[in-house]
Amino acid sequence: MGYSNKVLDHYENPRNAGSFAQDEEGVATGMVGAPACGDVMKLQIKVGKDGVIEDARFKTYGCGSAIASSSLVTEWVKGKTLDEALTIKNAQIAEELALPPVKIHCSVLAEDAIRAAVDDYRKKHGEAK
């Protein structure tokens, strides 16, 4: 299977890999996927007092395209408000990484991870959806 250079780059040099402490101020976590399906993504965002995502971390169990999709998303959400982050769509991720059709589900999962992390933040901070 051929990989695009961008997938290879994110795979070789993952951006923002790692974890924040769960109880850290402003941190929210989204975990999506299932081991039985072959991919699990954990996306964490750290939201500042101004409601802007200051930083992000990811950990992913999955193929190279899943790792690249989540790595890319950590870069994209930084500096965005929660609402802006929610506008990131799987098609943009797939296009940026030149994912082949069989790997589109990786970009869908990355979009789901953003939504799950934002939901978690809002739940913790009592914000209505």
Partner 1 sequence: MLKLPIYLDYSATTPVDPGVAQAMIPWLTERFGNPASRSHAFGWEADAAVEKARENVAALVGADPREIIWTSGATESDNLAIKGAAHFYKEKGRHVVTLKTEHKAVLDTVRELEREGFEATYLGVRENGLIDLDAFRAALRPDTSVVSVMLVNNEIGVIQPIEDIGAICREKGIIFHVDAAQATGKVEIDLAKLPVDLMSFSAHKTYGPKGIGALYVRRKPRVRLEAQMHGGGHERGLRSGTLPTHQIVGMGEAFRLARENMAAELPRIHALHDRLLAGLSSIEATYMNGDLTPGRHVPHNLNVSFAYVEGESLMMSIRDVAVSSGSACTSASLEPSYVLRALGRDDELAHSSIRFSLGRFTTAEEIDYAVDIIRRGVGKLRDLSPLWEMAQAGIDLSTVQWAAH
Stretch that binds partner 1, among 45-53, 60-68, 74-82, 84-92 (CB under 8 A): 60-68
- E strands, 1-129, where? 27-34, 39-47, 53-61
Candidates 34, 91, 123, 124; binder of partner 1 (CB under 8 A) is 34
Half-sphere exposure of 67 (CA within 13 A, CB side): 17
CA–CA separation, 7 and 13 (whole Å): 10
> Encoding tokens for residue 38?
């072959």
Q: Does 63 bind partner 1 (CB under 8 A)?
A: yes
Residue linked to tokens 């790792």? 67
Stretch that binds partner 1, among 73-81, 87-95, 103-111, 120-128 (CB under 8 A): 103-111
Cβ atoms of 113 and 60 within 8 Å: the answer is: no
Q: Does 109 bind partner 1 (CB under 8 A)?
A: yes
Number of H helices, E strands in the chain: 5, 3
Q: Does 104 bind partner 1 (CB under 8 A)?
A: no
Candidates 15, 33, 94, 99; binder of partner 1 (CB under 8 A) is 33
Candidates 89, 95, 102, 127; binder of partner 1 (CB under 8 A) is 102
Under the rule (CB under 8 A), what is the footprint of partner 1?
Answer: 1, 3, 11, 14, 17, 19, 31-42, 59-64, 66-67, 102, 105, 108-109, 112, 116
